[in-house]
């Protein structure tokens, strides 16, 4: 099978690589770019452990082809923290104990990141609905909801207060 050259921005950096047309984005990220944050869980897009952000949308990388991202802007969990400072969703999961085993956490963080851009001041019910495509087997979701609420509040603060 002939490889196709793809070019995309991943976490702000332009990357070019030759990929087989059938290469899943999650495998491209993990194996070719060594960005192992997106986890391979169910491989059917049900669990959300592989969630990344593509051109402003939450996407399950286990059912998205790398060639579909040619020219796209991709953000992975590795791209959330900036200059060593945690993003508000990462801080929220840390402060509110929004994780247990951590397997679902990268996907949860990425969905929360996009969700809070879609709905910056959500209710608890909206958080539960907005995060429903990402599954956690450990936490019972209470602290995940609290973590998203924390991040929403932090993102609402003026820049000088948020620091």
Containing H/E element for 150?
helix 142-156
pTM above the 0.75 mark?
A: yes
Output Rg (C-alpha) for the chain, integer angstroms: 16
Close Cβ partners of 87 (under 8 Å, ≥ 6 residues apart): 80, 81, 109, 113, 151
Indicate the pairing of strand 73-75 with strand 57-60: unpaired
CA neighbours closer than 13 Å in the CB half-sphere of residue 54: 19
Q: How far apart are CA 7 and CA 29, in angstroms?
A: 13
Q: For the chain, list the domains and their CATH numbers.
A: 4-78 (3.10.20.30), 88-156 (1.10.150.120)
The residues that bridge with 9 in the sheet, in sequence order, are 14, 73
pLDDT at 139: 83
pLDDT at 43: 81
pLDDT tens-place values along the chain, 163 residues long: 799 999 999 999 999 999 999 999 999 999 999 999 999 998 888 999 999 999 999 999 999 999 999 999 999 999 999 999 999 999 999 999 999 999 999 999 999 999 999 999 999 999 999 999 999 988 889 999 999 999 999 999 876 665 5
CB 75 within 8 A of CB 113: yes
Alpha-carbon dihedral angle through residues 20, 62, 29, 36, given to the nearest 10 degrees: -140
pLDDT at 159: 66
Q: How far apart are CA 95 and CA 111, in angstroms?
A: 18
């Amino acid at each position: 099978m002939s490889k196709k050259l793809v070019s995309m921005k991943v976490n702000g950096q332009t990357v070019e690589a030759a990929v087989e047309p059938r290469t899943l984005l999650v495998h491209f990220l993990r194996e070719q770019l060594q960005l192992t944050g997106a986890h391979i869980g169910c491989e059917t897009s049900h669990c959300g452990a592989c969630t990344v952000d593509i051109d402003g949308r939450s996407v399950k990388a286990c059912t998205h082809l790398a060639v579909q991202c040619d020219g796209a802007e991709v953000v992975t969990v590795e791209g959330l923290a900036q200059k060593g400072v945690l993003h508000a969703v990462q801080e929220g999961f840390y402060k509110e104990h929004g994780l247990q085993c951590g397997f679902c956490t990268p996907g949860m963080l990425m969905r929360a990141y996009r969700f809070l851009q879609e709905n910056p001041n959500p209710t608890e019910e909206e958080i539960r609905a907005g995060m429903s495509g990402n599954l956690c087997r450990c936490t019972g979701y209470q602290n995940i909801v609290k973590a998203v609420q924390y991040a929403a509040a932090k993102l609402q603060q003026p820049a000088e207060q948020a620091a």
